[in-house]
Amino acid sequence: MIGVQLWMVVLGVAMMVHAGCGLMAEKRAAALAAEDAPSEFGSQVFVEVVLGALVALWGGIGEFKPIRISDSKKVRWESLHARPDFHAYTNRAEFVKPFLEGQLPKPPEN
């Protein structure tokens, strides 16, 4: 299947939301118990968030295709509308030159 796989995106987002809800529940329970004791749930939340993000990204990207640099069959986009007779090699610096010459000190002549 080519393109976005919506079920993978939804599954990844659901995993991250589940991890967030679990973390909030742990935070409320710790606040009620007035303890700052570390628990094993923090590492489980980290793993669930990372897996959820990977699944969502994989589903959003779709099919991975190799990058082919030496594909000379197609005309490159940059040279598709190139007209060498119409190239302009001047730029806006020519309008700034009189201003800069007036502001910068002249080098000493030898």
Tell me the pLDDT band of 1, cut-offs 50, 70 and 90: very low
Q: For residue 82, what are its two tokens?
A: 């190139």
Asked if 22 contacts 45 with a C-beta cutoff of 8 angstroms, the reply is yes
Spatial neighbors of 4 by CB under 8 A, at least 6 apart, are: 59, 60, 62
Q: Where are the domains of the chain?
A: 6-61
Residues 61-84 have pLDDT tens digits of 877 777 776 656 677 777 777 777
Q: For residue 17, what pLDDT is reported?
A: 92
Q: Do the Cβ atoms of 36 and 30 come closer than 8 Å? A: yes
Q: Quick check: 8 and 55 in contact, CB under 8 A?
A: yes
Name the CA dihedral angle for 36, 41, 45, 47, rounded to a multiple of 10 degrees.
130
**What average pLDDT does the segment 18-25 reach?**
87
φ/ψ (deg, to 5) at 43: -70, -35
